[in-house]
Amino acid sequence: MGGALILSSIGVSTLLWADLHNRYVWTVLLVTLLFGAIGWVDDYRKVIEKNSKGLPSRWKYFWQSVFGLAAAIFLYTTAPSAVETTLIIPMLKDASIPLGIGFVVLTYFVIVGSSNAVNLTDGLDGLAIMPTVMVGGALGIFCYLSGNVKFAEYLLIPYVPGAGELIVFCGALIGA
């Protein structure tokens, strides 16, 4: 149930400081809060209802899949350019793979896989925050650089308009 305080902090900070017209901000915020709701239901069943198993794994995975697929489909259908649904191969100049509908599949696996990786890390020692802070910081930097036309041109990475705004969410995640 401690996650509720962290998620509240992330939500309030993001709503106060981020551009609320940005589809990326709303997508990551809603996915984070919805996945947090799954965790809250699991903890509620364990603590309040005294059910040691909490929410059954198949239901957790079902709801993660629903929310992950919804986010992936939303990002795919609202992508204004092909660069947003293309897999960029790092360290190779102009190397990319257009994913098409495969973008939805890859995005789904990244969302659900990342969530379960954090759950496994947290279950091992209860200290998932350090890996989360490190990854959130790195992803925030990548988003900022790709969302800034000058940095993107200089670093030869694709420019993705609006991606830089995710630094606010990542900063809220780190600060929570």
The answer to whether position 61 is within a domain reads: yes
**116 is annotated as contributing to ligand binding:** no
* Residue 127: Cβ within 10 Å count: 10
Asked if the structure places residue 107 within a domain, the reply is yes
The residue with tokens 């995710």 is: 166
137 assigned to some structural domain: no
**Number of independent structural domains in the chain:** 1
Domain with 85 in it: 3-126
Taking only the tens of pLDDT, the chain with its 176 residues reads 668 899 999 999 999 999 999 999 999 999 999 999 999 999 899 898 888 888 999 999 999 999 999 999 999 999 998 889 999 888 777 788 999 999 999 999 999 999 999 988 887 676 888 899 999 999 999 999 999 999 999 998 889 999 999 999 999 999 98
Cβ–Cβ < 8 Å for 162, 136: no
Domain annotation covers residue 63: yes
Establish if 167 belongs to a structural domain: no
Q: Is residue 13 part of a domain?
A: yes
List residues bridging with 73 in a β-sheet.
Answer: none
Does the pTM surpass 0.75? The reply is yes
On whether residue 145 sits in a domain, the answer given is: no
pLDDT score for 1: 61
Q: Which two tokens stand for residue 79?
A: 């992508």
**pLDDT for position 111:** 97
How much is the pLDDT for 119? Answer: 86
Q: How far apart are CA 31 and CA 2, in angstroms?
A: 18
In a domain, residue 151? The reply is: no
The token pair that represents 127 in the structure block? 């200290």
